[in-house]
Structure 1
Amino acid sequence: MPKYRYIAFNELGKKVSGIHEGQNKEDVLLMLRDNKYFPVKIKKIQTKKNIIMLLKSRGFINFDKPNLKEISDFCRQLSIMLNVGVPIINSLDAILLETNNKEMKIAISKITYDLLNGSTFYKSISKRKDIFPNLLINMIRAGEISGNIDEALYKASDYYEKQDLINNKIKSATIYPILLSITCFLAITFILLFIVPNFIIIFEMNNIEIPLTLKVLMSVSNFLKKYNYIFILFLISFILILKKILTLNSVKTKYDKFKFKIPILKEILKTSTAIKFSKTLYMLISSGVSLIESLDIASSIVENIYCNKNILEIKNEVENGDSLSYCMKSRTIFYQGMTSMINIGEESGRLEEVLCKVGEYYEKDLEILSDKYIKLIEPIMIFLVSIIVGIIVIVVIFPIFNLINSI
């Protein structure tokens, strides 16, 4: 975060100066006013960018943005305090003291400043879309209109808490194959750097021709030893560039569509999409937001661009007079069972209730899918790693057996 040097006068007219961190000059100005200082000069301190700052500025990493758990906690705390009659400014001040995330602290300070100057909560928080999700902002808007902002915040808190649990479930399902892949990579690197060179020495000492397979492995080993820094730098650069390429809209659309063709991943994606879609529509519609606007917001909630485009197409078709279930029917991103349930909800006039039940049903389904995925992927990964390491070992050990037989 940038640092600013300031010069100001306090209430007694005494000159004070110092350094303060902030997103911009407005943050420093807010701090000075809070301390009843009269600013004279605020100047940004120019610093050399380190690698972390450079990566953050290019959008490769973002450590400061609040996670779903922090968003959920913010909504729940604010909801409880508003429900018992604590004024919103006092509530935000109390949350500010409890919050550890720097970006959220700054955002809450700015919101409080706006409220003191006559702004509404919705108008103020809508300026902080880089911190607060679009869904939450629209829930607050609906809550202000209906006069039930505490209820809207409680629903949002519940939603983000469950989304956090779902994300953790998916991460736990993918962490095992990742760890196993890293272990495999380290094992192969160890063999190439330490085992292969020793075997080469044995062959050279006995004046025996080195087999072609060992020569190839030795070349790789020498390259890794001689150019290890270049190799590591290339590997990191490749991962970062690949990550950036996958964020390009045209590439990401094709990649996201391809995900729906991978057997196990397809089911997890469809289930998580069903949860987000149904839960988002339920919360917004039950808060008084129109179906069209709810669909527009739901499309931005889903990270998968292929799904995002499908939902926007559904929104356009609903605008033209078609029913929600009819528009969903032709989309492969949704289960037919889900579409049928929503159709029943529309016909019975209980769409909100059905959307809530659909979300709960698929939340349970995702747990079963994740457990099934973990149980299936474990033996597959062990088998693949065994084959890779086995081939390397055979390539190294067989020549040794031939050497022993020749002595």
Structure 2
Amino acid sequence: MPLFAYKARDKRGQLHSGEQEASQKSSVAARLIEDRLVPVSIEEITPSIKLEDIIKQYLPRKSIPLDDMVLFCRQMHALTKSGIPIMRAVYGLSETSNNEVLKEILQEVGNALSRGNTLSQALHSHEYYFSPIFISMVHVGESTGNLDQAFYQLVNYLEMIRDTKKKVSAALRYPTMVITSIVLAVIMVNIFVIPSFSKVFDKFGGELPFATQVLLGTSNFFIEYWWLMAMIFAMATAGIIHYVKTDKGALHWDRVKLKLPIIGGLLNRICLSRFTRTFSMLFASGVPILQAIDVSAEAIGNLHIEKNVREMRSGIERGESLSRTANSSGMFTPLILQMIAVGEESGALDSLLHDVSEFYDEETDFQVQRLSGAIEPIMLFFMGVMILVLALGIFLPLWDLSASAR
């Protein structure tokens, strides 16, 4: 966010000067007028270009672990609840933080606060690390005077995301290890094991069984064209990664993920849980419904669902009810649609959607626990097929050899 140097006079004619961050000059002027100061001059400060800053633009940014973000929110909740000034709290946490990235960011946030910015404005300058829902909740907390409660709600929200990621990672750890072992075993067998048997098979002189021919052909292809396979794999991987990073590719990939067998339904439940929890939290905090939809859509984590949720905004702007626009989007289950309709009629939309998010969290936990059990039979089937082909390809010629010897 640009930095502006200002000069202003108070009602007694005394000159005041300082610096403020804002999107434009008019924003600085509006803040000065709110502070009962008459702007004299407002000039944008052009930052000096350093070699270090140019290099940083091309290096990947370090992320802040969710555990550190949860700890930061817990500490801010405790400090703001105790009545400690925001600037003092931020500077204090920057000195005690063990994360170097968070320490540097909090130092910059404290400097922005000292220049007259609000906490939400200071955090907005670091939107790479602080999500829109994080900044919106802080802004609502500042506006309502309940900043401590805003940080408390953010603690619950971040802990939910952290626990979900840990559960999914734990469920996928075993299948990933097995699949990796299978791939490595196939490569080792084709490169080292089968070639040693091929020398024995060459002495037979007769026609080899089909399974053996497949094994020998696969092994020879691996040995002679491994470099081509590695090149194709690397190019395909790079191409897929590049495509997924584009807007069109990311949208297509997120649509495909929801249709994947076994895990597609799980991902859909996680996205719906995030939306209902985020929307209920923002709506209960007094965020306008249109802004709550935009922020909640961005918190979903799936561009396909996010696109359809954002389209609800135009229906609401035309005066349609939330339940009707939600039904038209085609993204929500009958349970959510029913709760939205009942919530609009009863005025308890936030609490009902919170109950829905709790239900989907329980469903997610149950699905995650069953994930390994659902994937395991598929992996065992492929392992059985691989072992069967390997056994037939190796032992059939040996049985033929022993039969001819008799």
| TM-score bracket for this pair, using the shorter chain length | 0.7 to 0.9
1:219 to 2:220 alignment: yes
Match for residue 101 of structure 1? 99
Runs of at least 5 residues in structure 1 that lack an aligned partner in the other structure: 1-40
CA distance in structure 1 between the partners assigned to 2:136 and 2:50 by the alignment: 36
Which secondary structure state, in structure 2, belongs to the residue aligned with residue 246 of structure 1? helix
Which secondary structure state, in structure 1, belongs to the residue aligned with residue 309 of structure 2? helix
Match for residue 326 of structure 1? 324
* Cα deviation digits, residues 121-144 of structure 1 (max 9, x gap): 111110101111111011111111
CA distance in structure 2 between the partners assigned to 1:358 and 1:46 by the alignment: 46
| Maintained 8 Å contact 1:111/1:125 | yes
Pairwise CA distance, 1:263: 4.6
| Maintained 8 Å contact 1:82/1:88 | yes
* Cα deviation digits, residues 33-70 of structure 1 (max 9, x gap): xxxxxxxx9963699x9xxx9xx948xxx571123332
| Maintained 8 Å contact 1:184/1:389 | no
1:135 to 2:142 alignment: no
CA distance in structure 1 between the partners assigned to 2:88 and 2:246 by the alignment: 43
Pairwise CA distance, 1:196: 0.8
| Maintained 8 Å contact 1:79/1:153 | yes
CA distance in structure 2 between the partners assigned to 1:347 and 1:67 by the alignment: 41
Match for residue 10 of structure 1? none
Query: Greater CA deviation, 365-374 or 390-399?
Result: 390-399
Match for residue 40 of structure 2? none
Q: 1:152 to 1:198 in 2, by over 3 A?
A: same
Match for residue 266 of structure 2? 268
Aligned pairs for 1:2-401 within 5 A: 44=51, 57=58, 64-204=62-202, 212-223=213-224, 227=227, 231-232=229-230, 235-401=233-399
Query: Greater CA deviation, 81-90 or 186-195?
Result: 81-90
Which secondary structure state, in structure 1, belongs to the residue aligned with residue 390 of structure 2? helix
Q: 1:118 to 1:45 in 2, by over 3 A?
A: closer
CA distance in structure 1 between the partners assigned to 2:68 and 2:122 by the alignment: 19
CA distance in structure 2 between the partners assigned to 1:283 and 1:104 by the alignment: 25
Which secondary structure state, in structure 1, belongs to the residue aligned with residue 304 of structure 2? helix
CA distance in structure 1 between the partners assigned to 2:396 and 2:287 by the alignment: 70
CA distance in structure 2 between the partners assigned to 1:42 and 1:141 by the alignment: 31
Match for residue 33 of structure 1? none
Pairwise CA distance, 1:246: 1.8
Q: 1:347 to 1:192 in 2, by over 3 A?
A: same
Match for residue 21 of structure 1? none
TM-score normalised to structure 1 length: 0.79
Aligned residue pairs total: 355
CA distance in structure 2 between the partners assigned to 1:314 and 1:81 by the alignment: 38
Query: Greater CA deviation, 298-307 or 390-399?
Result: 390-399
Structure 1 ranges of 4+ moved more than 4 A: 205-211, 230-234
Which secondary structure state, in structure 2, belongs to the residue aligned with residue 321 of structure 1? coil
Instruction: Name the Cα RMSD after superposition.
Output: 2.7
CA distance in structure 1 between the partners assigned to 2:215 and 2:98 by the alignment: 55
Code of the aligned partner of 2:221: V
Match for residue 29 of structure 2? none
| Maintained 8 Å contact 1:325/1:343 | yes
* Cα deviation digits, residues 298-328 of structure 1 (max 9, x gap): 1111221110111011122122111112222
Code of the aligned partner of 1:218: S
CA distance in structure 1 between the partners assigned to 2:183 and 2:243 by the alignment: 24
Query: Greater CA deviation, 91-100 or 106-115?
Result: 91-100
CA distance in structure 1 between the partners assigned to 2:52 and 2:334 by the alignment: 58
| Maintained 8 Å contact 2:284/2:350 | yes
Q: 1:100 to 1:240 in 2, by over 3 A?
A: farther
CA distance in structure 2 between the partners assigned to 1:258 and 1:295 by the alignment: 24
Which secondary structure state, in structure 1, belongs to the residue aligned with residue 362 of structure 2? helix
Pairwise CA distance, 1:232: 4.7
Pairwise CA distance, 1:110: 0.9
* Cα deviation digits, residues 379-403 of structure 1 (max 9, x gap): 2222222223432343233233334
Q: 1:131 to 1:233 in 2, by over 3 A?
A: farther
Code of the aligned partner of 1:182: T
CA distance in structure 2 between the partners assigned to 1:398 and 1:100 by the alignment: 63
Pairwise CA distance, 1:184: 0.7
Runs of at least 5 residues in structure 2 that lack an aligned partner in the other structure: 1-47
Pairwise CA distance, 1:170: 2.1
Which secondary structure state, in structure 1, belongs to the residue aligned with residue 267 of structure 2? helix
Which secondary structure state, in structure 1, belongs to the residue aligned with residue 245 of structure 2? coil
CA distance in structure 2 between the partners assigned to 1:201 and 1:357 by the alignment: 68
Code of the aligned partner of 1:243: I
TM-score normalised to structure 2 length: 0.79
Q: 1:402 to 1:358 in 2, by over 3 A?
A: same
CA distance in structure 2 between the partners assigned to 1:184 and 1:260 by the alignment: 26
